[in-house]
Amino acid sequence: MTESNVQQSDIAVEMRDIVKRFPGVIANDHVTFIAKRGEIHALLGENGAGKSTLMNVLAGLYAPEEGEIFINGRKMTFHSPRDAIEAGVGMVHQHFRLVPTLTVVENVVLGLDEPRFKLNLEEATQKIEALAEQYGLKITPDAFIWQLSVGEQQRVEIIKALYRGAQILILDEPTAVLTPQETVELFSTLRSMAAKGHTIIFISHKLDEVTAISDRVTVLRAGKVVAVVEAKDVTKEKLAELMVGRPVIFRLEKPEVAPGQEVLRAEDLHALNNKGLPALKGVSFTVRAHEIVGVAGVSGNGQAELSEALYGLRPLQKGKIYLNGQNITKAPTREIIRQGVAQVPEDRHKEGSIGDMDLAENLILKNYRQPPISRGPVISWKYVFDFAKTLIRRFDVKAPGIHTRARLLSGGNLQKLILARELSSDPALIIAMHPTQGLDVGATESVRELLLQERSKGAAILLISEDLDEVMQLSDRILVIYEGEIMGEVPADRADRNEIGLMMAGARQETLNHHETVAA
Ligand SMILES: Nc1ncnc2c1ncn2[C@@H]1O[C@H](COP(=O)(O)OP(=O)(O)OP(=O)(O)O)[C@@H](O)[C@H]1O
Ligand SMILES: [Mg+2]
């Protein structure tokens, strides 16, 4: 394999021998990382490999115990993100740090050192518009953050970094939350930034993207660098192997199983979104036992509201929900859980877990009232700890122990923790929203396998995902949602990408002529 050689004068970032420890783990174990001026550099590795930690060190959030950082050849010591920004390093975190009640402009200038009386919002607006124009970032400066889609918020974060003069831009899993169209736009922005001499470092688990957009790739495994390669020299399979340390097979066996009886029936669901606008406009469908029904669609078309409505977290304006023939339309979430419904929520931080609780507590969140965990008011901690240890092993959650707080887990490991809890309860119905988001290749495969196993065991599964490959690979039937309505339904074995794509953009199935769509 070609190890990449770099000229000293081309180097924008050099991190030398970085060591960063947390209680019980060495997140970065003598990591040396080099990024060139004008390159797009991908940082790859399994969940918990130390990617976010390394970039948080570069962005001044963590002080390393050992090692040195050089920016454009000058040695730096960062005591805070502010120091890093001063040196030209900006970071867009996976969880945005914008204030929802402020406008785009206000967020961009927020926290700048300039004294208040000097702050000229009009000037700022002009500067923001110029940056937006220069880098092809579509934004509305006077919009409020709460009005923006996730993709738009990300653009605000990028502008914020550019506004502060970032020459080196770090993005932590930027595409995990984007629609395919937004991803295309982001990549075009990143390319134009690199062409203007910026250095882009981005973390991703999507290997197709990594090979498509990056110039070079650094691979971490268990806190250490295992390879630095030119992207053009490697395949997706090779990258996966470097990450995991053994060959990874990108194939899934989907066993033949006959669908059983109807488990979920949704009839004419109507619900509002958080802004009080119609999000579901008459959604009807069923899911049977032994069946995975996929919901394909660009995010923001009612998927989150659908998942919440089914789980009793969002009131319906109209419509009925039946579980195993029983009307659960107005049932509270606690009752819905008791009836055997599991949910993998969209937001693993806000809904899926409690950061300040430890892993064991998070694993029993949903069923601590029931035997064998508790009898009457008494919780059997011995049982809980054994249960937690077993699940953490089975789901390969990488953490120092069951008493680690959930908020200290890496993104992917938190997702695994939630899956462990939800899938271990032998659910009758699983509502899984983006179940593999943020997971590394290995974990993604095992979660998909788990869902198929649950299907074999008889669970009814509603799989809500933007990843069309995932939906097509796992589902028995595919529904396409657009602006709160189901555009059509196709059996997975006769699914046509083109047809689904057109429905995702708002075409109704009955208006599509199959032969035309194939030719299109
Ligand atoms: N603030 C923290 N306190 C304690 N441990 C931490 C902290 N941040 C990260 N860790 C641990 O350090 C290790 C590396 O975590 P990191 O977040 O860097 O992984 P990652 O490569 O970004 O993974 P992912 O792909 O899942 O996001 C993990 O074992 C994680 O649990
Ligand atoms: Mg991470």
For each of the chain's 520 residues, which pLDDT tens digit applies? 445 567 888 999 999 999 999 988 999 999 999 999 999 999 999 999 999 999 999 999 999 999 999 999 999 999 999 999 999 999 998 778 899 899 999 999 887 766 655 568 888 999 999 999 999 898 899 999 988 878 889 999 999 999 999 999 999 999 887 777 788 899 999 999 999 999 999 999 999 899 999 999 999 999 999 999 999 999 999 999 999 888 877 778 889 999 999 999 999 999 999 889 999 999 999 999 999 999 998 888 999 999 999 999 999 999 999 999 999 999 999 999 999 999 998 877 777 788 889 999 888 887 776 777 777 777 788 888 898 999 999 888 988 889 999 998 888 898 889 989 998 888 999 999 999 988 888 888 888 988 999 999 999 999 999 888 899 999 999 999 999 999 999 999 888 888 888 898 888 988 886 544 444 3
Q: Which protein residue's CA is at the shortest distance from atom 17 of ligand 1?
A: 410
Query: Does residue 65 lie in a domain region?
Result: yes
User: Which residues, 6 or more positions from 496, have their beta carbon under 8 angstroms from its beta carbon?
Assistant: 490, 514, 517, 518
Q: Is 204 in the pocket of ligand 1 (CB under 6 A)?
A: no
Beta bridge partners of 74: 71
pLDDT at 148: 85
Q: Which ligand is nearest to the CA of 415?
A: 1
Separation CA 94–CA 225 (nearest Å): 22
Q: Which ligand is nearest to the CA of 43?
A: 1
Cis peptide before 23 (omega within 30 of 0): no
Same domain, 237 and 324: no
Same domain, 68 and 130: yes
The H or E element that residue 444 is part of is helix 441-457
Q: Which ligand is nearest to the CA of 172?
A: 2
Per DSSP, the residues of 184-205 read HHHHHHHHHHHHTT-EEEEE-S
- ∠ CA 182-186-188, nearest 5°, is 120
Q: Is 345 in the pocket of ligand 1 (CB under 6 A)?
A: no
For residue 50, the ligand 1 atom closest to its alpha carbon is: 18
Q: Is 413 in the pocket of ligand 1 (CB under 6 A)?
A: yes
Query: Does residue 368 lie in a domain region?
Result: no
Q: Which protein residue's CA is at the shortest distance from atom 24 of ligand 1?
A: 47
Separation CA 238–CA 245 (nearest Å): 10
Q: Which protein residue's CA is at the shortest distance from atom 19 of ligand 1?
A: 48
Q: What is the CA radius of gyration of the chain?
A: 24
Same domain, 273 and 325: yes
Q: Which two tokens stand for residue 226?
A: 């295992």
Q: Which of 244, 270, 288 is the last residue of a domain?
A: 244
Q: Which ligand is nearest to the CA of 416?
A: 1
For residue 173, the ligand 1 atom closest to its alpha carbon is: 27
Q: Is 175 in the pocket of ligand 1 (CB under 6 A)?
A: no
Q: Which protein residue's CA is at the shortest distance from atom 6 of ligand 1?
A: 408
pLDDT at 364: 83
Substitution candidate for ligand 1 out of 15, 20, 22 with most atoms within 8 A of CB: 22
Q: Which of 212, 244, 276 is the last residue of a domain?
A: 244
Domain that holds residue 55: 8-244
Same domain, 31 and 146: yes
For residue 415, the ligand 1 atom closest to its alpha carbon is: 26
Q: Is 48 in the pocket of ligand 1 (CB under 6 A)?
A: yes
Query: How far, in Å, is the centroid of ligand 1 from the Cα of 157?
Result: 22
Same domain, 221 and 267: no
Same domain, 36 and 74: yes
Query: How far, in Å, is the centroid of ligand 2 from the Cα of 55?
Result: 9
Substitution candidate for ligand 1 out of 410, 417, 440, 441 with most atoms within 8 A of CB: 410
Rounded to the nearest angstrom, the gap between the alpha carbon of residue 460 and the centroid of all alpha carbons in its chain is 24
Residue tagged 């969880």 (tokens): 95
Q: How far is CA 183 from CA 152, 274, 300, in A?
A: 12, 25, 15
Q: Which long-range contacts (CB under 8 A, 24 or more apart) does 349-352 make?
A: 349/95, 349/407, 349/414, 352/414, 352/415, 352/418
Query: Does residue 144 lie in a domain region?
Result: yes
Q: Which ligand is nearest to the CA of 411?
A: 1
Beta bridge partners of 81: none
Tell me 508's DSSP state: -
Rounded to the nearest angstrom, the gap between the alpha carbon of residue 174 and the centroid of all alpha carbons in its chain is 9
pLDDT at 113: 66
Separation CA 59–CA 55 (nearest Å): 6
User: Which residues, 6 or more positions from 490, have their beta carbon under 8 angstroms from its beta carbon?
Assistant: 477, 478, 480, 496, 499, 500, 509
Q: How far is CA 383 from CA 112, 125, 426, in A?
A: 51, 58, 18
Separation CA 257–CA 486 (nearest Å): 26
Residue 495 near residue 293, CB atoms below 8 Å: no
> Residue 136's domain is classified under what CATH number?
3.40.50.300
Query: Does residue 128 lie in a domain region?
Result: yes
Separation CA 419–CA 393 (nearest Å): 13
Q: Is 45 in the pocket of ligand 1 (CB under 6 A)?
A: yes
Query: Does residue 272 lie in a domain region?
Result: yes
pLDDT at 396: 86
Q: Which two tokens stand for residue 373?
A: 């965990």
Q: Which protein residue's CA is at the shortest distance from atom 25 of ligand 1?
A: 47
Rounded to the nearest angstrom, the gap between the alpha carbon of residue 342 and the centroid of all alpha carbons in its chain is 19
Same domain, 149 and 287: no
Question: Domain tally for the chain?
Answer: 2
pLDDT at 71: 97
Query: How far, in Å, is the centroid of ligand 2 from the Cα of 516?
Result: 43
Q: How far is CA 112 from CA 41, 71, 98, 155, in A?
A: 28, 22, 14, 18
Separation CA 78–CA 323 (nearest Å): 55
Tell me 402's DSSP state: T
Look up the pTM and report it. 0.85
Q: Which of 187, 209, 244 is the last residue of a domain?
A: 244
Same domain, 469 and 510: yes
Q: Which protein residue's CA is at the shortest distance from atom 12 of ligand 1?
A: 27
Same domain, 227 and 308: no
Same domain, 95 and 180: yes
